[in-house]
């Protein structure tokens, strides 16, 4: 590819020049983001949400990952994805949901192991993992990143938890990143998202593409970003939660069929690698394992089903006060 772009004789000089530009762009973007990013994380929001507290065993919901899972960029617990989703799941399930956030800002996939340890300690029924952006910015090889992610999914599944992964967002929408780095960031993000999908589905989880959620809508509507122009705003996290909710609810059997009669676009069954490549560029696409004629694998590997759901307008509350949750003991 580089040879075709630059020609044989000038490859060394052109390649070195491009690399220097990319490094300068990366340093400038990092300084701009870090100068505006709040060092104060929002409260965890850990607690029990929904009616029937004390009378019904809560569904235990854990959130793992990086700053997008933490909710960095907002101030209130009720604006974070964990709380938004816990409250919505409680209403859909008609039972209390216990939220435990173990995500850590700045995490890369290789740092998931201690988060999984903390998650397993509370015996989760459902786990959400949001990770990948820091793997891209650190230029970690996708094969390394997805190995750690697959291990995390496998351990959670072996413990009995259903697992949903929000794949790497499209970093090509981040305004502080200039060209040509922005174009490369988009390519790297989608490559990682596709690799994550293959690994997660084969490990027994399901994925939801967050490409343009934290991408075209984000690129067009700057209100979805917080002041650092990197992390989502409260509206941005609500948008992401609305996309994730159907897969999470369906994973634990509480997504109402009536919601899909009008909203679910026709699912397509493909080998997982092809499904992953398609999902990476289509926001909100869910990918999960399936069977064809009673078999989970075909000539090209694991069978996967793509589901295109529009974002939910079912309960993803815009505001949830910290008092709605009960402290986790």
Q: Which residues are catalytic?
A: 67, 228, 231
Alpha carbons 164 and 242: distance in angstroms, whole number: 14
Alpha carbons 279 and 167: distance in angstroms, whole number: 10
CA distances for 114 relative to 16, 148, 313, angstroms: 39, 11, 34
Largest CA distance in the chain: 75
CA 127 to chain centre: 12
**Vertex 90, ends 85 and 94: CA angle to 5°?**
155
Alpha carbons 46 and 82: distance in angstroms, whole number: 9
Going by DSSP bridges, is the β-strand pair 285-289/59-65 parallel, antiparallel, or unpaired? Answer: unpaired
Burial readout 87-106 (b: 16 or more C-beta within 10 A, e: otherwise): bbbbbbbebbbbbbbbbbbe
* H or E stretch covering 154: helix 142-158
Alpha carbons 54 and 45: distance in angstroms, whole number: 18
- In this structure, the chain runs to a length of 329
**Vertex 28, ends 219 and 75: CA angle to 5°?**
60
């Amino acid at each position: 590819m580089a040879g075709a772009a630059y020609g044989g004789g000038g490859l060394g000089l052109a390649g070195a020049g491009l690399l220097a530009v990319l490094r300068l762009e990366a340093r400038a973007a990092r300084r701009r983001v870090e100068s505006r990013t709040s060092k104060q994380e929002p409260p965890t929001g850990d607690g029990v949400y929904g009616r029937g507290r004390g009378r019904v065993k809560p569904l235990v919901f854990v959130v793992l990952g990086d700053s997008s899972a933490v909710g960095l960029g907002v101030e209130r617990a009720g604006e974070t994805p964990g709380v938004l989703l816990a409250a919505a799941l409680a209403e859909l399930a008609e039972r209390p949901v216990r939220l435990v956030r173990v995500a850590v800002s700045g995490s890369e996939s290789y740092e998931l192991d201690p988060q999984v340890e903390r998650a397993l300690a509370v015996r989760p029924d459902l786990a959400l993992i949001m990770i990948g952006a820091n793997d891209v910015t650190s230029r970690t090889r996708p094969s390394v990143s997805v190995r750690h992610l697959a291990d995390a999914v496998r351990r959670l599944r072996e413990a009995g938890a259903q697992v949903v992964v929000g794949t790497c967002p499209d970093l090509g929408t981040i305004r502080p990143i200039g060209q040509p780095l922005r174009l490369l960031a988009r390519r790297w993000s989608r490559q990682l998202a596709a690799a994550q999908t293959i690994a997660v589905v084969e490990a027994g989880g399901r994925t939801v593409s967050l490409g343009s959620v934290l991408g075209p809508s984000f690129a067009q509507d700057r209100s979805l970003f917080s002041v650092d122009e990197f992390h989502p705003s409260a509206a941005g996290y609500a948008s992401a939660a609305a996309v994730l909710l159907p897969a999470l609810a369906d994973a634990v059997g509480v997504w109402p069929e009536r919601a899909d009669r009008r909203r679910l676009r026709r699912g397509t069954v493909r080998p997982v690698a092809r499904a992953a490549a398609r999902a990476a560029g289509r926001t909100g696409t869910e990918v999960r394992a399936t069977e064809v004629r009673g078999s989970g694998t075909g000539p090209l590997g694991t069978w996967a089903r793509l589901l295109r759901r529009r974002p939910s307008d079912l309960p993803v509350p815009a505001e949830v006060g910290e008092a709605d949750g009960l402290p986790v003991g």
